[in-house]
Structure 1
Amino acid sequence: MALMSSVPLYDTIGTAYTVTRRTEPRIAAQVLAALGDARTVLNVGAGTGSYEPQDRYVLAVEPSAVMRSQRSAGAAPCLVGSAENLPFDDQSFDAAMAFATLHHWPDPIAGLRELRRVARRVVVFTHDTSEAGWLHRFWLTRDYLPEVADLLVGRPSVTDLADAIGARMEPVLIPWDCADGFFEAYWRQPEAYLDEGVRRGMSVWTSVGPDAERRAVQSLHDDLASGRWAERNRDLAGLDAAELGLRLLIA
C-alpha cells in the first residue's frame, strides 16, 4: 500500500503492473457476491481492470495514464477522474466498487461518501491497519518493515471508513497460492519478497523508500537462509488461507 497521490506513483511504478497483479478468483467471487444483483457498476480507482465483473455493465474511473494504458481491449470503458469528485448524478449506478485503492486517496472518507452518493450499493476492498489487525498480524510488517506504521499516521481507521458510509465489514481470507500479487499475497511464500519484480508490483516498497526496502529484504534473506523465518512462522505452514486484516466494506 502507499499513502500518497496515486497519479505520480502509478505513472512511475505501474508499467509492469499486469505481470504480478492478476485477479484472484476466490477473492473475486467474494466481491461479486457483495455486489449482489447490481447490473450497473462503477469501478473507482480501477487500475488495469482486475476484479471488474464480466457479466454486467461496468464503467471505470482511473487517474493514472500508465494504468489506463494497460487495460485490455475488452475491458470496461474508463474515464479519467478521482474518487473525491465523481462526475455523476446521485444514484446513477446500482453499485460502486473500489479494490485496493482506498489507501491512495488523499481524502478517503470524502471519496467513500462520493461512492455512496452516486450508487445504491458500495463495495470496497481495503485493510484493517490497526495494531491489533494488519500491522502486527502480518509478519512482513511486524518483523521486517516497521516503517509502514509511519505511513498510516493521520489516516482514518477501517472503523472510521465503515462508519462514514454505514458499511458492515466482511473479512477477506488470502489463499496461500493467491494469484494477485498484492502486498500480503505471499504470506506463505516468503521467498517471493526477495524478487525485485514482485516487489515493484507493491506500492508499499516505493512508499517506505529504498533504504528500508534494502534492509528488510536483506534481513528476510538472512532469516530464510538460517531457518529463523521458518521457526518464527511455523504456525503458517499448514494454513490454506490467512486472515491478515483484509476487509470488504459493504454498504
Structure 2
Amino acid sequence: MAIYDSIGATYAGTRRPDPRIAARIHQALGDAATVINVGAGTGSYEPPHTLSAVEPSSVMIAQRPAGSAPALEAFAESIPLADDSADAVMALLTVHHWSDLEAGIGELLRIARRRIVVLTFDPDINHKFWLLEEYLPEAAAFGDERAVAVDRLAGLLGGARIETVTVPHDCTDGFLAAFWRRPEAYLDPEVRAGISLFAQTGEEVLRPGLARLSDDLSSGRWHRRHADLLDREALDAGYRLLVADL
C-alpha cells in the first residue's frame, strides 16, 4: 500500500501550491510543451500542459481537482508509459519516498525527452531546521533513513543544475519547513498530518517535543531564541531544484 493511502487524507487542504514556488518550477520546466508529473499527489504545481500524472496512492488521486491531467495509479519505479513520452518530467518532494531510487530515476530518464526537474531537499541543511534540531530530533533521525543526498541525485540524473528554493515566510504549501516563522502551526494536528515525516514518525513519538515547543511559545522563549527569524522574508531550509537536460 502506498504510504499516502494512510497519511494523505487531508493533504489537499494543507498543501496548497505556493505561487512563488510554482513560478520557480514552471521556469525550470522551460518551453516544454508536454509534462509528466511523477509522484504527483494531488496535482500541486502541475502546469496546464501536463499530459499525465503518476501517483501510487488512490487517496491522493481522489483529491486531484476536476480538470486535472489524467492520473495513472503506479509507482515511480515502474511507470506504464512509453519511452520519450513527454518533453519534460517533474518529480516534486517525492524521491525520498521511493523504495528504489535508482530504478525511479531510470524511469524518469526513460520517459523524458528533453528535461527532468526534481524538487528535493538537502538533508544536511533540512535536518538542522530548528523544529527538528531543537524539538523533534526523533523525526530527524527517522528522516535520515530516507534522505537522498543532492549530489547523489544529481549524479544519477547524469548531471544537473542545482538551484536553491527559499521558503517564503507566508508559504501556502504546508511542507516540513513552511511554517518556519509561524511555529504555532506545528501544534495543529491537521498541519502535521500533511507533513509526511511527522505522520510517519507518529504522534506518540512527537508528543514530548511538541509539548516543549508549546511551553516555549507560551513563555516567549522561542521568540527570544529565534528573534533573528522574525523579520526575515524567506529562509533557506535546504530545498533544492535539480534541472537535468537530456
TM-score, with length taken from structure 1: 0.92
1:25 pairs with one of 19, 23, 46: 19
What TM-score do you get using the length of structure 2 for normalisation?
A: 0.94
Structure 1 CA distance, aligned partners of 2:187 and 2:50? Answer: 39
Pairing partner for 1:121 from 115, 122, 142 = 115
Structure 1 SS opposite 2:10? helix
Shift of 1:210: 2.3
In the alignment, is the contact (CA less than 8 A) between 1:109 and 1:161 conserved in 2? no
Question: How far, CA to CA, are the matches of 1:154 and 1:53 in structure 2?
Answer: 28
Letter in 2 for 1:195: D
The residue number in structure 1 matching 2:133 is: 142
What are the residue-to-residue correspondences of 1:28-39 with 2, within 5 Å? 28-39=22-33
Distance 1:150 1:10 in 2: 17
Query: In the aligned structure 1, how far is the partner of 2:204 from the partner of 2:22?
Result: 35
Residue 4 (structure 1) aligns with: none
Shift of 1:155: 4.6
Contact 1:52–1:58 (8 Å) recurs in 2: no
Match of 2:185 in 1: 192
Partner of 1:170: 163
CA drift of 1:9 comes to 2.1
Q: Runs in 1 of length 4+ with deviation above 4 angstroms?
A: none
- RMSD, aligned α-carbons: 1.3
AA in 1 matched with 2:77: E
- Quick one: percent identity of the two aligned structures? 52
Three-state SS of the structure 2 residue aligned to 1:117 is helix
- Stretches of structure 2 that go unaligned for 5 or more consecutive residues are none
1:92-135 superposed Cα distances (whole Å, 9 cap, x missing partner) = 210000111111111223212211221021001111002xx111
Asked if structure 1 preserves the Cα contact closer than 8 Å seen for 2:2 and 2:56, the reply is: no
Q: CA deviation at 1:217?
A: 1.1
Q: Distance in 2 between matches of 1:93 and 1:80?
A: 18
Residue 196 of structure 1 and its aligned partner are, at CA, apart by 1.0
Runs (5+) with no aligned partner, structure 1: 1-6
**Structure 1 range deviating more: 101-110 or 189-198:** 101-110
Q: Work out whether residues 188 and 237 of structure 1, in 8 Å CA contact, stay in contact via their aligned partners in 2.
A: yes
Aligned to 2:58: 65
- CA positional deviation for 1:12: 1.2
Does residue 1:42 correspond to 2:48, yes or no? no
Q: Quick one: which of 235, 238, 242 aligns to 1:242? A: 235
CA distance in 2: counterparts of 1:155 and 1:57, whole angstroms: 28
Aligned equivalents of 1:72 and 1:66: distance in 2?
A: 13
- From 78, 81, 89, the equivalent of 1:85 is 78
SS in structure 1 of the partner of residue 173 of structure 2: coil
How far the C-alpha of 1:205 sits from its partner, in A, is: 1.2
